Amino acid sequence: MRKKIVAGNWKMNTTLQEGVKLAEEVDNALKTVEPKCDVIVCVPFTHLASVNAVITNPQKLGLGAENCANHKSGAYTGEVSAPMVASTGAKYVILGHSERRQYYGETSETLREKVALALENGLTPIFCIGEVLEEREANKHFEVVKTQVSEGLFNLSADDFGKVILAYEPVWAIGTGKTATADQAEEIHAFIRSTIAEKYGNEVADNTSILYGGSCKPTNAAELFAKPDVDGGLIGGAALKCADFMGIVTAF
Ligand code: 13P
């Protein structure tokens, strides 16, 4: 059966010292609870090795990056490759976040390269999809996510696709305080799963974790996670405070 997962995406927040402290708090908090889900923190590149060093139980707290380069190595000043990320001890990498698509021009083509490199280096991609407000208002959200999933991932073998975690993040809900309702989330998660089933069959689709992201908080997480096709959350703002993040982790 597919995994339930709560993953934090710290984005471009916290200094190294603040980030290490936050990771220590989460690591500590997890010692006293038995979460019914996998817990992951995705942190800035600069923090990866130091955060990895303070994680006492990697079975309970996974570590990820927020991006990686679409090249293995070479003259790409300022970029960080998948092998570099893996060498810090990280096991996950967020790819195709809407902020990367929007502000850094990431396309399905570069994302396919990033996904391939992540998998080659033993990293689990957390692959983000989601529509902008105008697309939702024009009732194009189903078409948009179908295109993002198929262009970004359907070149993979069923075996490799099975290693990917999906995150549906409606862009209009990110950092806005406007959450998709649980019914809206369920409707599109079920659609994403059926799209996967059409390509790879029911077993692969049933085993794919699809997380919801966008203003997920301790107060709305339980309702979202109660939906059959919502397998957890990718958490931005609320992942920056240990108590809020743990409130979401324990919503399962
Ligand atoms: P917020 O939880 O801050 O809305 O961000 C969601 C997100 O983009 C996670 O990747």
DSSP 69: -
If one counts the domains in the chain, the total is 1
- Catalytic residue of the set 99, 106, 135, 169: 169
Question: Which residue, among 171, 77, 146, 157, has the nearest Cα to 119 in the 3D structure?
Answer: 157
Per-residue pLDDT of the chain (252 residues; tens, 9 = 90+): 899 999 999 999 999 999 999 999 999 999 999 999 999 999 999 999 999 999 999 999 999 999 999 999 999 999 999 999 999 999 999 999 999 999 999 999 999 999 999 999 999 999 999 999 999 999 999 999 999 999 999 999 999 999 999 999 999 999 888 888 999 999 999 999 999 999 999 999 999 999 999 999 999 999 999 999 999 999 999 999 999 999 999 999
Instruction: Evaluate whether 129 touches 166 at the Cβ level (below 8 Å).
Output: yes
- Amino acid identity of 170? P
State which residues form the domain around 229: 5-249
pLDDT of residue 179: 85
For ligand 1, say whether the CB of 180 is within 6 Å of any of its atoms: no
- Our answer to whether residue 79 is catalytic in this structure is no
Q: Which position among 47, 66, 97, 106 bears the catalytic label? A: 97
Q: How far is CA 225 from the centre of its chain?
A: 15
User: What is the model's pLDDT at position 53?
Assistant: 98
pLDDT of residue 148: 98
Residue 152 maps to which CATH number? Answer: 3.20.20.70
Q: Which of 67, 234, 248 has most ligand 1 atoms within 8 Å of CB, for mutation?
A: 234
Give SS3 for 82: helix
Beta-carbon contacts of residue 233 (< 8 Å; ≥ 6 apart): 5, 6, 7, 211, 212, 213, 216, 221, 224, 225, 248
Q: Does the reported pTM lie above 0.85?
A: yes
